[in-house]
Structure 1
């Protein structure tokens, strides 16, 4: 027969392990819920013409609550760390695309983010931007436009884990 104190220790140890596992599961669930309602994270962009992965963009929230996104990795033919934005006409002219902020000042507007800008490093043009999440936060629809939202194009980016 196992002494009483050993049984109590065994039960206590099992309780601690179960509580730790519950904490891990809870943290995972909170992270998943946060992802479902925020674009903060890493996104794989898709080339409009080829349908192939183009780059990874990291979206982060600044101290003012605005979202900004920068290129953290080129993919496929764009995986050239020395690529520069030769077509840019602002301060980013001839700057490396890797590390470049291409999304700026996005503000939450209901279930979407709006009132910001997006740079297309391929043509150097800056567009107004709006975006919203789909498929439980796993896809981000990013729309760049001139003037009104009807005059633009959308891309769907895929969340990376």
Structure 2
């Protein structure tokens, strides 16, 4: 029952925007006040989705103003009491490397910065799903969407792909 309620409320929360963040905070606190109930990768993804559409804002880890990519990851994971680096490049030597085919919801996908020839990590997202249709990840992007969004691992991002890591 709790999972069904989560899914229903998450669907409603996808429509939350910065203008109605107080409503988001109220619902978030009601559903997610006990972090110990949500230690799974699926729970991390559902929590991450609460911030879908929050604008991109460089250097920020605050949903009231926006997120950059690593600020978003930091915000989501620390909600669950999981300490993570604040900078995407610092994830390079963190966690356990996972083959793309074995990536699961809640794993982190690391990318180069905007120049794929420079193989230094410069962007990060959370795996949402990985099935026969491919891998999708949620991230705060400074690109066309300029917000937290879900993107498939293909084309532009496939060229920038570095690795997948698991923290939970």
User: What band does the TM-score fall into relative to the shorter chain?
Assistant: under 0.3
Q: Which of the pair has more CA radius of gyration? A: 1
- Normalized per residue, the structure richer in strand is 1
TM-score w.r.t. the length of structure 2 is: 0.24
- Normalized per residue, the structure richer in helix is 2
Task: Determine which structure has greater relative contact order: mean sequence separation of CA pairs < 8 Å that are 6+ residues apart, divided by chain length.
Answer: 2
